[in-house]
């Protein structure tokens, strides 16, 4: 395909999004008005999967054993590489769509529909993948483990934010659950007969605080006591705690997890308590694909987005898109829906996710993703470049791949 033919298709996908703007915004606002938390996104999933099915995609609901996950697939005019758009649609408890996943969901849908509108001119396969439970449930972690992303050539999603960052990474994160088992006794009359599970738990926190001095600056360890005892006059027989252990990359984070577990074992040993732990979930660090990021940046800049990169990769959180990014070449750019003083996970951010500015960002993002898909399908050498970068940046023997978090 010539460059001018590809440019003509990119104009057509933009026109498709403009022509369908009212419907996309209505879907975004409907999801926003009916927030559903992790793994309970039944109505949002039905709305999105219904809309893509109606357009002509083959839809499979309940993939990877997750009721609210779906995969929609459609073939282009000729066989070719498989490009996926991802939609998240879970909300937060109590504060609704304060992470703006209604925008992610509808931008993914809009991009898939727009690219589908020019499918006859392209060689490839198009997918819209509905990924539940980003907020804590690790929907994509489970879907990666169960092979949903195998065989794809590229995957992309956007996230609303307050700065347009296209090649933003994220840090690896592990969730740990600790339990300490002691022996109850009268705290005044017979403390010597008790084994104090709270001491084991507090000593764990102290040991971890001592450990911090000997960790690299990228490491983050933060914990809470989820059960600290039942009565002050009873030696606590049972306590529990939750920790997040994060580091710049997955393998480093696993090394720190081992050290944190030793801190808890030592705390239990000192108190004479029994200790059990669960390594509940691992979000791998997110590796943005440079070629895809550059294409997306050019496309969305052309639509008026003020891309601010390169920015230092600091003050980052974690996301289950990390695991996807280490399975298939991916991007997870941020589009602007609010001013920089508005923080994510707040009622103000939830308002922005259904504002005129949020609606405009959703349309821009849908267009830019569809244009990027056209770039990748129209110029196979770009996709090859993206895949070569992926092979170079991703450790296919990373320890997280051998662990299972979906049981
Ligand atoms: Zn969030
Ligand atoms: Zn989010």
Q: Which ligand is closest in space to the CA of residue 92?
A: 1
Q: Which ligand is closest in space to the CA of residue 345?
A: 1
- Integer angstrom CA distances of residue 72 from 13, 112, 331: 19, 9, 19
Rounded to the nearest angstrom, the distance between the alpha carbon of 319 and the centre of ligand 1 is: 9
Rounded to the nearest angstrom, the distance between the alpha carbon of 91 and the centre of ligand 1 is: 8
Rounded to the nearest angstrom, the distance between the alpha carbon of 113 and the centre of ligand 1 is: 25
The model's pTM is: 0.95
Rounded to the nearest angstrom, the distance between the alpha carbon of 309 and the centre of ligand 1 is: 21
Q: Which ligand is closest in space to the CA of residue 159?
A: 2
Q: Which ligand is closest in space to the CA of residue 93?
A: 1
Sheet holding 154-156, edge to edge: 58-61, 70-75, 123-130, 78-87, 154-156, 330-331
Q: Is the distance from CB of 76 to CB of 374 less than 8 angstroms?
A: no
What is the reported pLDDT for 328?
98
Q: Which ligand is closest in space to the CA of residue 161?
A: 2
Rounded to the nearest angstrom, the distance between the alpha carbon of 403 and the centre of ligand 2 is: 24
Rounded to the nearest angstrom, the distance between the alpha carbon of 157 and the centre of ligand 2 is: 11
Residue 336 CB partners (closer than 8 Å, separation 6+): 160, 161, 162, 163, 164, 305, 306, 357, 361
Rounded to the nearest angstrom, the distance between the alpha carbon of 198 and the centre of ligand 1 is: 32
3-state secondary structure of 357: helix
What is the reported pLDDT for 397?
86
Q: Which ligand is closest in space to the CA of residue 103?
A: 2
Give the Cα separation of 399 and 378 in Å (integer).
36
Rounded to the nearest angstrom, the distance between the alpha carbon of 134 and the centre of ligand 2 is: 7
Rounded to the nearest angstrom, the distance between the alpha carbon of 361 and the centre of ligand 2 is: 15
Rounded to the nearest angstrom, the distance between the alpha carbon of 304 and the centre of ligand 2 is: 23
Rounded to the nearest angstrom, the distance between the alpha carbon of 137 and the centre of ligand 1 is: 11
Q: Is the dihedral of CA 152, 158, 164, 170 positive or negative?
A: negative
Q: Which ligand is closest in space to the CA of residue 334?
A: 2
Rounded to the nearest angstrom, the distance between the alpha carbon of 283 and the centre of ligand 2 is: 14
Give the Cα separation of 357 and 184 in Å (integer).
58
Question: Around 286, how many Cα atoms within 13 Å sit in the side-chain half-sphere?
Answer: 25
What is the reported pLDDT for 301?
98
User: Two tokens at 369?
Assistant: 């993703």
- Integer angstrom CA distances of residue 283 from 41, 130, 245, 320: 21, 18, 10, 5
Rounded to the nearest angstrom, the distance between the alpha carbon of 377 and the centre of ligand 1 is: 31
Give the Cα separation of 172 and 209 in Å (integer).
20
Give the Cα separation of 250 and 242 in Å (integer).
19
Rounded to the nearest angstrom, the distance between the alpha carbon of 187 and the centre of ligand 2 is: 46
Rounded to the nearest angstrom, the distance between the alpha carbon of 195 and the centre of ligand 1 is: 40
Give the Cα separation of 177 and 276 in Å (integer).
8
3-state secondary structure of 156: strand
The position carrying tokens 């395909």 is 1
Rounded to the nearest angstrom, the distance between the alpha carbon of 100 and the centre of ligand 2 is: 7
Give the residue ranges of the chain where pLDDT is below 50: none
Around Cβ 343, how many Cβ atoms within 10 Å? 11
Q: Is the distance from CB of 204 to CB of 263 less than 8 angstroms?
A: yes
Q: Is the distance from CB of 148 to CB of 126 less than 8 angstroms?
A: no
Describe the chain by its helix, strand, coil percentages, rounded to 5: 45, 20, 35
Residue 216 CB partners (closer than 8 Å, separation 6+): 247, 248, 252
What is the reported pLDDT for 203?
98
User: Two tokens at 133?
Assistant: 């439970």
Rounded to the nearest angstrom, the distance between the alpha carbon of 237 and the centre of ligand 1 is: 35
Taking Cα atoms as reference points, which of 212, 219, 195, 215 lies closest to residue 267?
195
CA end-to-end span of the chain, whole Å?
A: 46
Rounded to the nearest angstrom, the distance between the alpha carbon of 162 and the centre of ligand 2 is: 13
Taking Cα atoms as reference points, which of 162, 144, 141, 163 lies closest to residue 152?
144
DSSP letters for 186-254: BTTT-GGG-B-HHHHHHHHHHHHHHHGGGS-TT-EEEEEEEE--S-TTB---EEEEEEEEEESSHHHHH
Rounded to the nearest angstrom, the distance between the alpha carbon of 121 and the centre of ligand 1 is: 37
Rounded to the nearest angstrom, the distance between the alpha carbon of 336 and the centre of ligand 2 is: 13
């Amino acid at each position: 395909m010539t460059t001018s033919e590809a440019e003509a298709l990119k104009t057509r996908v933009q026109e498709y999004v403009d022509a369908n703007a009212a419907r996309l915004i209505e879907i975004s606002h409907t999801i926003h008005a009916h927030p559903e938390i992790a793994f309970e996104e039944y109505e949002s999933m039905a709305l999105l999967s219904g809309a893509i099915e109606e357009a002509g995609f083959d839809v499979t609901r309940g993939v990877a054993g997750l009721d609210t996950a779906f995969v929609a697939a459609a073939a282009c005019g000729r066989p070719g590489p498989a490009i996926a758009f991802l939609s998240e649609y879970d909300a937060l408890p109590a504060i609704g769509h304060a992470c703006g996943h209604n925008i992610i969901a509808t931008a993914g849908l809009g991009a898939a529909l727009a690219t589908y509108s020019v499918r006859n001119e392209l060689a490839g396969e198009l997918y819209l993948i509905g990924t539940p439970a980003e907020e804590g449930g690790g929907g994509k972690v489970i879907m990666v483990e169960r092979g949903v992303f195998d065989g794809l050539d590229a995957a992309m999603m956007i996230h609303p934010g307050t700065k347009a960052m296209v090649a933003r990474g994220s840090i690896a994160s592990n969730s740990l659950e600790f339990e300490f088992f002691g022996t109850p006794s009268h705290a005044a009359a017979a403390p010597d007969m008790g084994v104090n599970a709270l001491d084991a738990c507090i000593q764990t926190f102290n040991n971890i605080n001592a450990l911090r001095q000997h960790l690299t600056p990228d490491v983050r360890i933060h914990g809470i006591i989820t059960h600290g005892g039942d009565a002050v006059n009873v030696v606590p027989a049972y306590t529990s705690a939750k920790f997040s252990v994060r580091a710049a990359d997955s393998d480093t984070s696993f090394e720190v997890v081992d050290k944190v577990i030793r801190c808890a074992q030592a705390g239990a040993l000192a108190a004479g308590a029994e200790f059990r732990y669960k390594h509940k979930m691992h979000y791998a660090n997110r590796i943005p694909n440079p070629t895809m990021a550059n294409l997306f940046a050019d496309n969305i800049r052309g639509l008026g987005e003020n891309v601010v990169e390169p920015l230092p990769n600091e003050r980052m959180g974690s996301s289950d898109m990390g695991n996807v990014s280490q399975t298939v070449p991916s991007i997870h750019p941020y589009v602007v829906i609010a001013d920089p003083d508005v923080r994510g996970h707040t009622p103000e951010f939830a308002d922005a996710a259904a504002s005129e500015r949020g609606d405009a960002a959703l349309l821009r993002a849908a267009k830019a993703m569809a244009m990027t898909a056209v770039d990748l399908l129209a110029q196979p050498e770009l996709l090859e470049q993206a895949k070569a970068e992926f092979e170079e940046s991703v450790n296919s023997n990373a320890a997280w791949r051998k662990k299972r978090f979906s049981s």
